[in-house]
């Protein structure tokens, strides 16, 4: 799920934390069977922040633990159902920006690999980018 993430990396300069290929089972969607049976979701997250202090100090306290962002994604995807992937992505992005003031920009990609379409696909999904100055409350 990383094809367009590189495009944003070139547009948004600076350091970032990268989480790729996170897989969770959730109950999001508008169809009754999606809400009853659930399905697998694939998540990618980029969180832009200054990593130089951690690079110099080698202390976890000068950065954000990957597991903290992973936990946010897990809680959202495995939590309360949403109708739209856009809403899932928005809640992840908003929560990251609220909990971690050192993050200036976050990119969240949410994909569904098992969709009812007439043809082969790796996944269908959404990608959002939220900046601290334009972040919308969840």
Give the domain extent around 97: 5-134
Sole residue written with tokens 């070139």: 10
Give tens-digit pLDDT for 62-96.
999 999 999 999 999 999 999 999 999 999 999 99
Model confidence at 1, in pLDDT bands (50, 70, 90)?
A: low
Could you report how far apart the first and last alpha carbons of the chain are, in Å?
24
Q: Count structural domains, the chain.
A: 1
Helix (H) or strand (E) run with residue 102 in it: none
- Residue 136 clears pLDDT 70, i.e. is over it: no
The pTM for the full model equals: 0.88
Catalytic residue (one of 13, 16, 36, 112): 112
Q: Given this model, what pLDDT does residue 138 score?
A: 44
Contact between 19 and 121 (Cβ < 8 Å): no
CATH number, domain containing residue 18: 3.30.1130.10
Torsion of CA 44, 3, 115, 30, to 10 degrees: 50
Across 32-41, average pLDDT: 93
Give which of 68, 88, 70 is closest to 79, Cα–Cα. 88
Asked about 112 being catalytic, the answer comes back as yes
pLDDT in tens, 45-61: 999 999 999 999 999 99
Tokens of 33: 């069977």
Query: Across-strand partners of 39?
Result: 26
């Amino acid at each position: 799920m990383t094809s367009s993430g590189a495009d944003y990396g070139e547009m948004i300069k600076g350091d970032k934390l990268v989480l790729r290929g996170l897989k969770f089972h959730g109950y999001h969607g508008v169809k009754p069977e999606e809400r009853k049976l659930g399905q697998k979701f694939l998540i990618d997250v980029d969180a832009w922040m200054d990593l130089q202090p951690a690079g110099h100090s080698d202390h976890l306290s000068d950065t954000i633990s990957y597991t903290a962002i992973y936990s946010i994604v897990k809680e959202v995807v495995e939590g309360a159902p949403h109708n739209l992937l856009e809403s899932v992505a928005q809640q992840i992005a908003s929560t990251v920006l609220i909990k971690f003031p050192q993050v200036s920009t976050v990119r969240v990609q949410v994909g569904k690999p098992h969709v009812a379409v007439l043809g082969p696909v790796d996944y269908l999904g959404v990608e959002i980018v939220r900046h601290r100055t334009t972040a919308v409350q969840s």
